[in-house]
Structure 1
Amino acid sequence: MTRRLYTILLRLLLPLALLRLYWRSLKSPAYRRRVGQRLSLGHAAPATQVWIHAVSVGEVQAAEPLIRRLIERDPPLSVLVTTTTPTGAERLRERFADNPAHRYTPYDLPGILDRFLDRTRPKLLIVMETEIWPNTLAACAARGIPVILANARLSERSAHGYGRFAQLTRETLQGFDLIAAQAEPDARRFIALGAQPERVRVTGNIKFDLRQPASLLDRAESMRRFWGSQRPVWIAASTHEGEEELLLAAHRQIRAILPDALLVLVPRHPERFDRVAELATRQGFPLARRSRREPCHADIAVFLGDTMGELPAFIAAVDTAYIGGSLVPTGGHNLLEAAAVGVPVAVGPHHFNFAVITELLCSEGGAVVVDDTAELTRVMSAWLSDATERARIGENGRRVVEANRGALDRLMALVEARLVEPSGGEAESN
């Protein structure tokens, strides 16, 4: 496929994309807000020096240390962050309020991108992790705007998918001025798909550099008192469709061994909160919902974390953690939030989006991979019954996180080099 054909297809699909936004807004009204921003219509986006694109919550979280470094720089840089999802926008607002500014990502079509770039005039675009948009890269190249693919990861599965469109993928990857890969396997896959080797660097994973706010432990202690300080508590974080049934089955078996055990269940997508609540209730589990501030008495078996922005405190407050999207073939989510606060963590077999992190933590005794519900039940029951073992595994995970910090400094050095104009002067402030 060529970029011209890609553009024609995308134009034809645009009405369907807008219809999909409307469909999603029926369950999550935030999707119908600020739709004009996706078309670069309505209120103008602010002029900026650095444009950061982060699709959703996970990418915003990954970008957080980078954003903080840029806006706290001396002199500070004006930053604009675009996200595709409202949950990503909400996570950005919770962590940063109104600085940096936020807009929804413009669709990858020439006219829309031209309007967006005319208004924002960025000096640099930083794309987080695995977002590869052909027309965005071409539009930036035409204006001399360097583009960095930061904290870049590419699983074997994703590489195979991109390989089906070899010509378009090769042309697009060659549009990046720099691909800052998380690990050697990621770098090799990008190069195999057509990225120029001299533009690929292995800088590490900046998620290791995430610093939690000082208030996190106080919030976690308060949350734990609310649940019950003496009862065993485990979390299933960022769960997906089809996964909650498996986790509730595991929890039923865990409660057969530890009758007062509490499961903190946090679905990945807010539009699924009500369905998951209904599922747990239908299966006979006494349920409390965080959004309703319902008390968590000793007879409550499942606590539904149906709010935004509290997951880090939930994770820090529990005894053990399971990270979702991995018992079903979604690819998993980030283990590091749990490891960083010394919570032993388990993931399912489908963790290909975080394969390197998972392998590293497992090799150092800070995490385990469970193949199915039965093994998850066994692992969680054993950990919840043994505080000494939990502490040992949690400390292993914490040590891995501390040992792998530093990717942000390596990435920032490369960012700074591209913020300096060819004449040697720094890009002008807006």
Structure 2
Amino acid sequence: MIASQQPTGEKTSALVQRPFFLFLLYQLGWHLLLPLVGLRLWWRGRKDRGYWQHLPERLGFTGLSSRFHHAIWIHAVSVGETRAAEPLILAYLARGEKILLTCMTPNGRRTGQALYASAIATGQLRQCYLPYDICWAVEHFIKQVQPKFGLFIETEAWPTYVFRCAEMGLPLFLINARLSDRSARRIKYFGRAGEELFQAFTGILAQTELDAERYRALGVKNCAVFGNLKFDVLMKPELLELGAGWQANLRTSGRLVVCAASTRIGEEQLILTAWQQVLKTARIQPQPLLFIVPRHPERFDEVAKTILASGFRLRRRSEATERSILFDQTDVFLGDSMGEMAAYYRAADLVVMGGSLLSFGGQNLIEACAVDCPVIVGEHTFNFQQATLDAINIGAAVRITPAQLSSTLVELLLSTEQRLAMAFAAKNYANLHQGATKKILHAIDEQLRRKPINSAAT
């Protein structure tokens, strides 16, 4: 259970006060930088036209009619958070609730479109960009939308939204919340102002005890541990079937697959260099296949050039229109598609988790474990610290340095027994940590039942 720090429906109490001077500087900074923000949108739109679309929404003009008032407002910044929110969103949709899903990136919006297409078609769910954290844009957005309550996913804590919701008595929860040690130290640079920001949430529902301890160290009292929604995300059967078909194709020739998943800039070259060493090991026959699936789609072409420059025979997913792909005469398969990660995991025998070889903080290893896939992680996993430690402790994952990557790959590719043991541990790990969705739903229901929900229009 989470304990409310501030009675819902009351104006700002002494416990929830905006740090006036810093907040004024923050707003001034936003207004001064707004032309640069527009320029950045234009620049990013050169590679992804999605940044040029729905621009009024980013300033608070959603176009929502009054029929969509009192929807549950869920903010998921991009792809990972949108997928993490899926079990909770589906649960609320099953209750008949209206959902307003906001995001910040075109890829996040596309992911929402794919995941919730049927609810969008029936008008039960709407998507829009979250307006910039400028006072007038936030004010217009909240009064236009008049949400029932708000749920921010994982790390989102925009000061204007958080403080304004507290002032209006609009319940705003930070759910599936995580806070790395690095982020906690940065927040403390702002002193009392940083602490007051998180204290203004109606409740913080943390993923792990480590996360909760960091929030409590900021003076947050309305915080408890509810687990990670990502363990409850169900893989799409059609994607698992697709991956199983690829795996069956590869099994006819006896080839094993290593999937480098959600790789970030600079990591592909490290992986390709290690792969060259792996292929020189004559004992691995037939030659294994490497999947590389970059984290950001705008880098697909860049990564393809890197693969070719390294001397590998390349095949791209975008060039294969058929479901059954022939992988012969291919050294590296580039996963330049969106929303098919489950298929890549299903086809793989091993996963190298991107974002962890260099200091990006790591990516989510839960989906790989859910399909019995052993995971290799690097030294940088602060974004998923507890989840990674749990996976390592149970035997589902191993941690390496970049220098150890090639030797670890060779060892695991040669040892069927070790791979199978890790695969069993991975499935066990994924199953053990399920159930966060029901706990979060119950906690929010209880919190809202104790306090009346005021309309944001008041």
Q: TM-score, normalised by structure 2?
A: 0.88
Amino acid at match of 2:406: T
C-alpha distance 296-48 of structure 1, shift in aligned 2 (>3 A): farther
C-alpha distance in structure 1 between counterparts of 2:446 and 2:37, whole Å: 37
- Using the TM superposition, give the Cα deviation of residue 426 of structure 1 relative to its aligned residue in structure 2, in angstroms: 12
Contact kept? 1:237, 1:321, Cα under 8 Å = yes
Partner of 1:364: 394
**What is residue 244 of structure 1 aligned with on the other side?**
268
* 8 A Cα contact 1:239 1:266, kept in partner: yes
**Which of 332, 337, 348 is residue 318 of structure 1 equivalent to?**
348
1:326–1:349 CA contact under 8 A, matched in 2: yes
1:78 and 2:98 are equivalent in the alignment? yes
- Structure 2: segments with no counterpart, 5+ residues: 1-20
Q: Which of the numbers 91, 116, 136 marks the counterpart of 2:111? A: 91
1:222 maps to 2:249: no
What is the CA distance between 1:191 and its match in structure 2?
1.7
Question: Match for residue 12 of structure 1?
Answer: 32
Q: 1:117 aligns with which of 128, 142, 156?
A: 142
Aligned-pair Cα RMSD in Å: 1.9
The number of aligned residues is: 421
* Greater mean deviation of Cα atoms: 342-351 or 84-93: 84-93
Out of 84, 87, 90, which is 1:68 matched to? 90
- Structure 1 residue 411: Cα displacement: 0.8
TM-score (norm 1): 0.93
**Partner of residue 182 from structure 1, selected from 201, 204, 207:** 207
Paired AA for residue 341 in structure 1: V
Residue pair 2:239, 2:340 contacting (<8 A) in 1 also: no
Deviations 1:267-323 (A, max 9, x none): 100110000001111111111111121764422111111110001111111111011
In the other structure, the counterpart of 2:440 is 411
Q: Which residue of 2 aligns with 1:129?
A: 154
SS of residue in 2 equivalent to 1:149:
strand
Amino acid at match of 1:24: R
Cα deviation for residue 5 of structure 1 reads 1.5
Deviation for aligned residue 1:228: 5.7
- DSSP 3-state at the match of 2:175: strand
Q: Secondary structure at 1:3's aligned position in 2?
A: helix
In the other structure, the counterpart of 2:229 is 206
Q: Which residue matches 1:106?
A: 131
Higher relative contact order by CA 8 Å / sep ≥ 6: 1 or 2? 2
Note the C-alpha offset of 1:49: 2.1
TM alignment of 1:1-400, pairs within 5 A: 2-41=22-61, 43-44=63-64, 46-73=68-95, 76-97=96-117, 98=120, 100-195=125-220, 197=221, 199-225=222-248, 229=252, 230-257=254-281, 258=284, 260-293=287-320, 296-372=326-402, 374-400=403-429
- Note the C-alpha offset of 1:157: 0.7
| Structure 2 counterpart SS, 1:245 | helix
SS at the partner of 1:368?
strand
Post-superposition shift, 1:224?
A: 2.3
1:288–1:296 contact (8 Å) kept in structure 2: no
The answer for unaligned runs of 5 or more in structure 1 is none
In structure 2, relative to structure 1, the CA distance for the partners of 1:290 and 1:16 (3 Å cut) is same
| Contact residue 351 and residue 374 of structure 2 kept, 8 A | yes
Q: 1:383 to 1:24 in 2, by over 3 A?
A: same
Question: Would you identify which runs of 4 or more consecutive aligned residues in structure 1 move more than 3 Å?
Answer: 225-229, 294-297, 418-423
* Secondary structure of 1:329's aligned partner: coil
By how many angstroms is 1:3 displaced? 1.6
Amino acid at match of 1:20: R
Give the secondary-structure state (helix, strand or coil) at the position aligned to 2:312.
coil
- 2:431 alignment counterpart: 402
CA contact (8 A) 1:166 1:193 kept: no
Give, in angstroms, the shift of residue 93 of structure 1: 1.4
**Contact 1:110–1:135, Cα closer than 8 Å, also in 2:** yes
- SS of the counterpart of 1:107? coil
Shift of residue 166, structure 1, vs aligned partner: 1.9
Q: Distance in 2 between matches of 1:241 and 1:414?
A: 39
- For residues 268 and 217 of structure 1, what CA distance do their matches in structure 2 show? 20
Deviates more, 1:264-273 or 1:210-219: 210-219
Does the 8 Å contact 1:233/1:318 carry over to 2? Answer: yes
Q: Letter of the 1:12 partner, please give it.
A: L
Decide whether the 8 Å contact of 1:40 with 1:112 is kept in 2: yes
The 3 A distance-change label for structure 1 pair 422 and 357 is closer
Displacement of 1:128 in angstroms is 0.6
Contact 1:203 1:411 in 2 (8 A): yes
SS state at 1:80 partner: strand
Identity %: 38
CA contact (8 A) 1:123 1:419 kept: no
- Contact conserved, 2:169 with 2:454, CA < 8 A, in 1? no
How many angstroms apart in 2 are the aligned matches of 1:389 and 1:48?
Answer: 53
